Amino acid sequence: MKWLMLSLLGALSVALLVRAAGPATQPAPVRYHEEVRSNPPLHMHVVTIDLTDPRVSLRVVRSGDDPDGAGPWQSKLDTVRNVAAREHFVAAVNGNFFTTKDAVSLLGKKIPYYAGNWCRVTGYAMTDGVLWANEPTSAMLVVDASNTVRIGTFAKVPADARQVVSSGEILVVNGKNVGKSPDTAPRTSIGVDRSGKHVTMLVVDGRREGFSAGLNGQQLGEEMIRLGCSDALILDGGGSSTMVFRDADDQAPRLVNHPSDGHTLPFDLSIERPVADVVGVSVREE
């Protein structure tokens, strides 16, 4: 009996050793987590993207078709969630700042943010090598043909660009915080490490005292540096700040943050604002 017990213990030890020595589970190339702070209250939503995985790509897409061809309007407003579902994105955030063509009256207010409204983005925007918005601006995120990301100030769109999203403000340059936006507000940012292969998307909830007030540009830059970014770009913020992430069960994109539109209504609501374009992450099926 003693010999049998020793044999069983030995076999169990070998099994445990083999399991411990086996291949470790590889982390997913696209991951989401939420960070919650209490002093002051803050809710931040973070997606990390590993572009060294050949299945993963970062894309910039307009929310709707060009409504007037060669005219001044470039897209139609739609929600990040709807665009992510259409494009099969694993994760997505809102992109460029934008202006709208029309507005509707609701409860005595003029509302420009509704699905289908014609719009144009501020700055440059490119999708799969096609430049569809070319208003000069210096601050850009560029994805090149090698699937490497660069963020910085450019005199023009680089010749090797495949995807471009832009804004008027760089947050981080070579590890240095240069954020300037003074207002505390909901924010969206995107950054990259020194390799150009590890991207971070950050959405900060705001305009809700006791839940999450938001951040200013300098604070946002600090967070992007903390998250490992060497360079970072601010994207459209305020009510546009939106992040979605694919649900593991039904594979549908789910809204993970609390957009600020609706916070001034008699009943405090969080309403997803339609936007002009979206930065999304695709993972190719194998």
Highest mean pLDDT among 26-35, 46-55, 206-215: 46-55
List residues bridging with 252 in a β-sheet: none
Q: Average pLDDT for residues 164-184, to the nearest whole number?
A: 96
Decide if pLDDT at 131 tops 80: yes
Q: How confident is the model at residue 2 (pLDDT cuts 50, 70, 90)?
A: very low
* Amino acid at the residue 181: S
The confidence score (pLDDT) of residue 1 equals 38
Beta bridge partners of 15: none
Residue 138: which H helix or E strand, with range? none
- The pLDDT, as a whole number, for residue 9 is 36
Contact 151, 235 (CB under 8 A): no
Closest CA to 242 of 206, 267, 213: 206
Separation CA 244–CA 273 (nearest Å): 13
- The residues facing 278 across adjacent strands are 61, 94
Looking at residue 164, its pLDDT comes to: 98
Rounded Cα distance between 99 and 248, Å, is: 35
Which pTM value belongs to this model?
A: 0.88
pLDDT at residue 58 in the model: 98
User: Residue 282: pLDDT above 90?
Assistant: yes
Place of tokens 């943010």: 113
What percentage of residues in the chain have a pLDDT greater than 90? 80
Res 181 pLDDT > 80: yes
Distance separating the N- and C-terminal Cα atoms of the chain: 52
